Structure 1
Amino acid sequence: MQYHSEVLDRRTGELVSVCNGNWVTFTELGEAFGLGKRQVRQVLRHLGWVYSPGASGRSAYRLAPSAIERGLGKHIPKPKSGWAFDVVSPYGQELFARELPKALQAIKGAESEATRIARDGLEAFKAQRLDGDRWTTQMEVSWLRHFHPGLSQSEIGAVLGISKQRVSLLLAKSRKRARYPEPDQQLPM
């Protein structure tokens, strides 16, 4: 998205619109480099560009103040839509392109063999399914827990690119759902 600033032209005394360049959101940045929403945030987290402002670690990732100071992007606190978001500057996009291969290699290198096997298995299973592109995170966590019961919550989080706390929350929801099924989903006796 093109961002513009209004600057006072001292010669004429009029406000002039100046283009600041093409700034993109985290998701658009990921799409430009062939990464999904979770994977681009995982890379940004590895690079130290983002942090989770909530104490629980479950809130949305925000651009770190140090990244804003370096000119990598900026935080848009309250636009007309009412939802705060962050954008990455053209300079940040260039730096991201340079750092991406090293970051992906480091993330891959930090994985255990069990994590790699689980990720490959999940991707292969989803590729065979007609609805593989519509799976929710809840479904992916349940599949991994069922077919790879030896994985820890941290390893499941590493496979999916989400936090351990998020995995714990999703597993608790699935346990509760199994314990107390909806009235129309009663198990046969």
Structure 2
Amino acid sequence: MVRYVKEVQDHSTTVAVHPVDRLLDSMTKGSAAIVAPMSANQYEDFPVALAVSGSALGPLLADIQATAGPDSHVVGIAGVRLSPRMRAELIGGDFEIQGESLQEQAVATRGNTTWQWTVRSAWPGERTLRVRLHALVLVQGQETPRSFNVAEHRLTVRIDATEWAIRNWQWVASALALPLLAFVYQTLWKRNGIRTP
């Protein structure tokens, strides 16, 4: 078994490396952190942020945790490939994400670059948000995005019954009015001595 691994390793050094692979291997590696709440209320806005840095994960997490709210959850990711220009994308099919879905920024190797979104969910329950980074790299003279799934964050959206009733008052009114009308109808028929079929 060990001999086979050695043969594969020896063989891999002689194989020509594709230019895109060489480009990806040459990219600066940094760290990223996503900041989002562990839970949120249905129909209420909440912030989500992504920060990337050319530094190690420890300093980035220290910076983020110093400014994160008490109910925020911070997830750190090491070894994220960085390019001078990047796009960040927040994806969540069960969420309304305000702001541009794909935000582009210049990324320096020193300091943090941050993307922010305002998010809300109309659906209660366990929900998932995904963060994707797009490094803008030159391939054969053309700027091309290279996408990386960075993080996934699960949160619980708590039901807000009052807000649901306000937003869906027609259903509530129908659910209450129909039995009431049936009761009034039955009472009037009985009072007038008319029997129902």
TM-score (norm 2): 0.21
Structure of higher RCO (CA pairs closer than 8 Å, 6+ residues apart): 2
TM-score (norm 1): 0.22
Name the structure with the higher helix share: 1
Name the structure with the higher strand share: 2
